[in-house]
Structure 1
Amino acid sequence: MNTKKVLVAGATGYLGQYLVKELKKRGYWVRALIRNEQQKDKFESVDDFFIGEVTDPKSLKGIAKGIDWVFSTIGITRQKDGLTYMDVDYQGNSNLLKEALHDGVASFQYISAINGDKLKHLKIFEAKEKFVEELKDANITYCVLRPNGFFSDMKDFLQMAKGGRVYLFGDGNFKLNPIDGEDLAKVCVDKMISGEKEATVGGQDILSQNELAALALKAWGKPIKILHLPDWTRRLTIGALRTFTSSKTYGPIEFFLTAMAEDNIATQYGTKRLEDFFNQEVDRMKKE
């Protein structure tokens, strides 16, 4: 049994749930931040629940009491509750950090995303990296991880492939190595133990977008039909979204479309393969 007590913020999210499982597997005492009582049902074994909202500092009082390590995967994904990236990805994490500093937490790990430090002009990263800077300036041992896309993010390719054709911008030769949540959770804990301050994290398979699209089509048993759209249509789409929608709507799409126009290759970790994930997802979707 590890003597360290750990707080996981963002525990109900894709990565957060894997993190809780990995920490419990290694014998850590785990406190999970949740927003309401009903979310307790998502967990099999957690030592302590703390109910609060990262955007409401008063609700976080005492959250870090007795805690040695904080892991935060807090960030807006697809919520539509009127909050901005600055409200959640920056201010929410900042509120959490203040509590950690107040209660003498030893280490704070924050999960940003690949190339966040180079893409601060994107709304999503403007907020994430503002928090990264605050964390680095704070009087606390920090760890910033920038993972590649999750396997779960690649489901967009599967959804397209279901219709028998995948659309890509440009020639489809840019590469990425997405990572499974379970593999990433292991890396998160390993990096916290080793004390590494910053790292990019990706999966084993480095795939071009064409290869990724082909895997998605193959999972559905479809012939390989990939349509390459000229890159100006991607740029036009970003411009139109910025003009006609709110940052909440365009933020994730802006990030996705920007990422599609360059290589996103992170240090390789883990054992899980995207092809297996696609096959499992298709089996699941067929049963639904």
Structure 2
Amino acid sequence: MKTEKVLIAGASGYLGRHITKQIVHSEYDSRLIVRNLKKSGFNLSVYDVVEAEVTKPETFKNIFNEVDYVISTVGITRQKDGLTYMDVDYQANVNLIDAARAGGVKKFIYVSVLNGQKLRHLKIGEAKEKLVDYLKNSGMDYSVIRPNGFFSDMADFLKMAKSGKVYLFGDGKLKLNPIHGDDLAEVCIHAIRSKEKEINVGGPDILSQNEIAELALKACSKPVKIVHLPDWIRKVTLWTVRTFTSSKTYGPIEFFLSTMVMEMVAPRYGTKKLEDFFIKKVKEQ
């Protein structure tokens, strides 16, 4: 009989769904927080699902009862409900930490991003790292998971590859090893027992941006055509979106354009291959 319970916040998101799928087969019971019960699609005969707004702590009534651990993947991706990174990535997670501490939760696990300290000047990095600071000073036991990018983020390469060309800034030699949601979910669940406070993690294959572009073009059955753009174009694009759009619009663009000129290699983990992911995505389209 399972005796400990894990609360998964952000369960209906990309990573949250992978964690939810795997935790059923783990040693833990689970409870899922979702924004909309009907739209979540979870089987209520299998999962303990509760509806709450993480930006509104008054909706947390009884949610943390009998909860031993929390895994939060809460953060803005492409939401269009008027909320900012500070509203969600920071304040919503502060609400969860405060409620978890008051409820006697043993440990709080938060999924942030690799090289977070170097990304504090970005809107998303500012919010995420401010939250990490808050968690470290909360008095709770914690782990911060720092992935260097999901396979799903690499779909942008596929979008370009469909047109027959992939555009990169610089020479395309910078490397990264993005990780599949299933593999990252394992890391999050293992973190419950881990003594590590910060866990940097990536996928099994370290690839240059050129190699990722080639995999995407190959998956789309296109010849290898990679266009290397000068960095001034990236800088002008950044200035333009920051000047003429809101942070909700430019936040994801700012993050993508900034990490594209950073080495994003993390300790390797997992078995899922980016090449297989690309091939599967193309077949599904």
TM-score (norm 2): 0.97
Within the alignment, does 1:30 sit opposite 2:30 as a pair? Answer: yes
In 1, are the aligned partners of 2:37 and 2:50 still within 8 Å (CA)? no
| Runs of 4 or more above 4 Å deviation | 43-46
Q: Where does residue 11 of structure 2 map in the other structure?
A: 11
Cα deviation for residue 62 of structure 1 reads 2.4
Instruction: State how 1:55-70 maps to structure 2 within 5 Å.
Output: 55-70=55-70
Partner SS state of residue 262, structure 1: coil
1:107-144 deviation digits (Å, cap 9, x = unpaired): 00000011112211100010111111111101211000
Which residue in 2 is equivalent to 1:235? 235
Unaligned runs of 5+ in 2: none
Give the alignment of 1:1-288 within 5 angstroms. Answer: 1-43=1-43, 46-285=46-285
Percent identity between matched residues is 59
Question: In the TM superposition, what is the alpha-carbon distance from 1:40 to its structure 2 partner?
Answer: 4.2
Instruction: Give the SS at the match of 1:118.
Output: helix
Residue aligned with 2:81, SS: coil
Shift of 1:37: 2.2
Q: When the two structures are superposed, what TM-score results if normalisation uses the length of structure 1?
A: 0.96
Q: Is the 8 A contact 2:169 2:228 kept in 1?
A: yes
Q: Deviations over 1:213-242 (max 9, x none)?
A: 000000011100000110110011111110
- For 1:70, the aligned partner's letter is V
User: For residues 42-68 of structure 1, what are the alpha-carbon distances to aligned partners after superposition, in whole Å with 9 as ceiling and x for unaligned?
Assistant: 457644211110111111232211100
Counterpart contact for 1:2–1:27, Cα < 8 Å: yes
Q: Output the CA distance in 2 between the equivalents of 1:208 and 1:2.
A: 43
Looking at structure 1, the residues matched to 193 and 40 of structure 2 have their Cα atoms a distance apart, in angstroms, of 27
Give 5+ residue unaligned stretches, structure 1.
none
The count of aligned residue pairs is 285
2:144–2:197: 8 Å Cα contact kept in structure 1? yes
Q: 1:198 to 1:166 in 2, by over 3 A?
A: same
CA, structure 1 residues 46+101, in 2 after alignment: closer, same or farther (shift >3 Å)? farther
Q: Specify whether residues 175 and 199 from structure 1 end up closer, same or farther in structure 2 by C-alpha distance, changes over 3 A only.
A: same
Q: What's the offset of the Cα at 1:30?
A: 0.7
Distance 2:243 2:235 in 1: 12
Task: Kindly state the Cα deviation for residue 191 of structure 1 after the two structures are TM-superposed.
Answer: 1.9
Deviation of the 1:178 alpha carbon: 0.3
Bigger mean CA offset, 55-64 vs 136-145: 55-64
